[in-house]
Amino acid sequence: MFIIGELINGMYKDIAKAIQAKDKSVIQRRALEQIEAGADALDVNCGPASKDPVNDIQWLINSIQEVTAKPIAVDSGRPQVIEAGLKVLKNKAIINSATADEEKLEPLIALAIKYNARLIGLTISKKGIPQNKDQRLELAALIIASAQGKGLPVEDLYLDPIVMPVNVAQPQMKDILESLREFKIISDPAPKTVVGLSNVSQGTCQRSLVNRTFLIMAVACGLDAAILDPLDKELVDSAITSDLILNKHIYCDSFLDAYRKK
């Protein structure tokens, strides 16, 4: 399981204040906390309150790169902000994220190729969120075809089935899980899969439990990566143990600590 820490996001009040004050100590502490907890990469988003996202994304990335060389997912709905982040990254990046609309997908595929970055493709279009597995598969196939046609290796592509909150879209949960499994047979080589995990528990009163249970089920369906809160120890422990049971790690009595120190 490739864990992408979600906590450096301007939607959080402490991160928004740090961006405004240019207090890199807050950003660096949050980066190191997530890595120590088991994050393999860090998602970085200026948030909607940023008045200068092009410069803010570069400041955030440079601040993080002073204390870690972990991969960074540049998260923005604006291609110019994403490219600004890619310009200052020292290691291979992840672009988060492109939709299946051609006018939005193609520029980000071009950036992924130009900067040798991985790309998250969301199975969503201007028509809205898919309502069933077939619609998700159709959009996934479109994203893969576009990536292959432009020369982006499928190995650098992550597909996101768009996880919905269980309290408002409970009938879709099974389709979302089945989509993860079926994305793998659309092409050879197969694309990787990713989810924004926290969405599944949005608005519920047992968020950690819902996140943890969905994650384990998704891993069993072939999930490769998740954007999540790595400071939720039980959640990360569940992800590590799921991989162990699927024979992706060698068992030892201290397998949890061994994973975090890898």
Answer yes or no: is 211 within a domain. no
**Which pLDDT score is estimated for 185?**
96
What is the structure's pLDDT at 74? 98
pTM for this predicted structure:
0.96
Q: Assess whether the previous peptide bond of 79 is cis (omega < 30° from 0).
A: no
Contact 47, 16 (CB under 8 A): yes
Q: Which domain range does residue 140 map to? A: 2-196+222-228
- CATH number, domain of 27, equals 3.20.20.20
| pLDDT higher than 80, residue 262 | no
Please check the confidence at residue 151 and state whether its pLDDT lies above 90: yes
Determine the distance from the C-alpha atom of residue 136 to the mean position of all C-alpha atoms in its chain, rounded to a whole number.
18
Q: Is residue 107 part of a domain?
A: yes
pLDDT band at residue 259, thresholds of 50, 70 and 90? confident
Residue 160 lies in a domain: yes
What is the average pLDDT across 181-202? Answer: 97
Structure confidence at residue 72 (pLDDT): 98
Distance CA 68, CA 94 (A): 16
262 part of a folded domain? no
The residues facing 42 across adjacent strands are 5, 72
Spatial contact of 180 and 223, defined as CB atoms under 8 Å apart:
yes
Closest CA to 73 of 130, 4, 170: 4
Residue 149 lies in a domain: yes
Domain count, the chain: 1
- Write down the residue that tokens 């030892």 correspond to: 252
Contact 85, 76 (CB under 8 A): yes
Count of CB atoms within 10 A of residue 155's CB?
10
**Rounded to an integer, what distance in angstroms lies between the CA atom of residue 189 and that of residue 92?**
20
- Cβ-in-10-Å burial (0-12, 13-18, 19+) of 35 comes to buried
In a domain, 111, yes or no: yes
Whether residue 243 lies inside any domain: the answer is no
In a domain, 205, yes or no: no
pLDDT at 261: 78
The pLDDT-based confidence of 260 (bands split at 50, 70, 90) is confident
How far is residue 131's CA from residue 136's CA, in Å, rounded to a whole number? 8
CA geometry: angle 126, 129, 132, nearest 5 deg: 130
Q: Of 97, 95, 14, give the one whose Cα is nearest residue 49.
A: 14
Rg (CA), the chain: 18
Q: Which of 40, 47, 88, 82 is nearest to 66 (CA)?
A: 88
> 3 CB contacts (<8 Å, ≥6 apart)?
38, 39, 40, 41, 225, 226, 228, 230, 236, 239
